[in-house]
Structure 1
């Protein structure tokens, strides 16, 4: 559409000129465009374009782009539940094990005996005036203990992002603690465990910021481990990522993992009669029915 704002009428005309079948009445199309937005929906009709002129393949329906959008929404909402459970579990393990090994260093996240100097030197990225002001527990701690530069780890890390917690984990000096935590998730190789957690953090960030999921491609391949049966060789797709999330979730709660597997199957099965969406599920997402 270029750099000039356009009206709904102009947007609808452009879609028709490019060959899209607007298989809703015009008022419904306007309602959807106002709800989701022309620009955002563009991510979901992109698979239906046949050339750089953004012309659509024969038979492209507006409803298919909308269906793909809602497939993304359903997956995002479901995965966020899993990712939140994993984040809390991982944070709890890091705080518990490191704090109990370093009982005399409650603020061990800035202790050079515990964590790398690189992390300590960058602590202001995580623990600054905004951090203290925006988190009630931290704010109350500094109000009560006015001479403390930092609150204890079990308070502080509760408000670190998932990515920051993983960074703390990677920067720990004690390899034995890291291996102990990795082993709790069934991974003996520490670097492979870090790779899996980096995958989970990446997907979490995409989901948390409303990113597009169906064509997700990881910046680097997931480490191969015997317990995960990946469908693709490059191990970079959304399906590959979901397998990692389910694997780690299963180490926390096998029942929850089974529930989520059923919910994933249910989401995809809702599109079993739509050949166009089914093709995207297979080729872009890389999904194969669990246990099929």
Structure 2
């Protein structure tokens, strides 16, 4: 986590990562002069006392302490921040409630679980369709052929990742290959690509030269352009990482923003004047992609149920338009 205050300056030490990286990242060095951190750790009672001093209403201190024993102060602070009247003093607005913040935390946890389940369905379908169409067109070992990829550095990085992931795997079908064959050095795509990470898989797809085969995969997802799928998969990779690390997602601003076409052949949304860096637009992409997947998790319906159960949540902070429930995408 990066902190900033008025006595600190910072400078980037590395250039931005390539476009095909699944999670954009930038590292910083801080120049503080002689400034030294002197704050000490504080116990749970002290943490609760500070929140009360700042104007937070604590309905049940015993329950509040139990919560702080389970959820760290700075993780919980993300759910307190919307109730602050000042980000410098951290004083709370009138009627700010510890209970409301815990409900927001639980909502975000349930939302994250719902999103992650949908991503799992999409990831498995994406993996299946890449393996099928790429292998039918380019053979079982296409992922090892550098001539089939646009950027050699990304190709080499992917191959290194594949080697590490195959080496870690304890799947029977990987062991069976090496017990019977000595070459090539990797099992065929329908075995190898079952054990590689979603990030590696998305880079293989985006870096592949043959756009015609990428169009076939995109068509399976009811997308008219493979460029839409490339963009959406990059967005999903970032969202997936946030979910996997239990990060807050409900009001997060995402660095990789999805393309929002005005028209798509399956149920979609009316594109209004909104910025696609909020969660709502990511949810739209998940719901759309899920329409092409058999035995899916009914993401759209389950999201509606979750939102109706949490009517007090500020959906504007999530990027939801006012009449979002009337969109065709959410009424399938």
Q: Please tell me whether residue 61 in structure 1 is matched to residue 97 in structure 2.
A: yes
CA distance in 1, matches of 2:229, 2:164: 33
Q: 1:129–1:92: structure 2 CA closer, same or farther, 3 Å change rule?
A: closer
Following superposition, the deviation at residue 28 of structure 1 comes to: 0.9
Superposed CA deviations along residues 153-180 of structure 1, whole A, max 9, x for unmatched, are 1111111111211111111121110111
| 1:219 lines up with 2:255 in the alignment | yes
Specify the SS of the correspondent of 1:127. helix
Q: 2:121 maps to which residue? A: 85
Write out per-residue CA displacement over residues 72-93 of structure 1, whole angstroms, 9 at most, x where no aligned residue: 0111111111100000000100
* 1:3-35 Cα deviation digits (max 9, x unpaired): 4221111011100111100012x2111111112
Structure 2 gaps of 5+ residues are: 1-36, 328-332
CA distance in 2, matches of 1:60, 1:193: 42
Task: Say if 2:277 is the partner of 1:243.
Answer: no
Matched, 1:262 2:292: no
Residue 36 of structure 1 corresponds to which residue in structure 2?
Answer: 71
Partner residue, 1:120: 155
3-state secondary structure, aligned to 1:158: coil
TM-score normalised by structure 2 residue count: 0.78
Residue 125 of structure 1 deviates from its aligned partner by 3.5
Counterpart residue number, 2:31: none
Query: By percentage of residues, which structure has more helix?
Result: 1
The aligned counterpart of 2:81 is 46
Task: Give the whole-Å Cα distance in 2 for the aligned partners of 1:209 and 1:6.
Answer: 25
Number of positions where the alignment pairs a residue of Structure 1 with one of Structure 2: 282
TM-score (norm 1): 0.88
Asked if the contact 1:21–1:59 (Cα under 8 Å) also holds between the matched residues in 2, the reply is yes
- Compute the displacement of 1:221 (Å): 3.1
Deviations, residues 193-243 of structure 1 (Å, cap 9, x unaligned): 211222222211111111111112121432121133245521121111101
- Segments of 5+ residues of structure 1 without an aligned counterpart are none
Task: Kindly indicate whether residue 147 of structure 2 is the aligned counterpart of residue 108 of structure 1.
Answer: no
Which residue does the alignment assign to 2:62? 27
Q: Tell me which residue corresponds to 1:175.
A: 211
1:133 pairs with one of 163, 168, 179: 168
Q: Which residue of 1 aligns with 2:7?
A: none
What is the RMSD computed on CA atoms of the aligned residues? 2.3
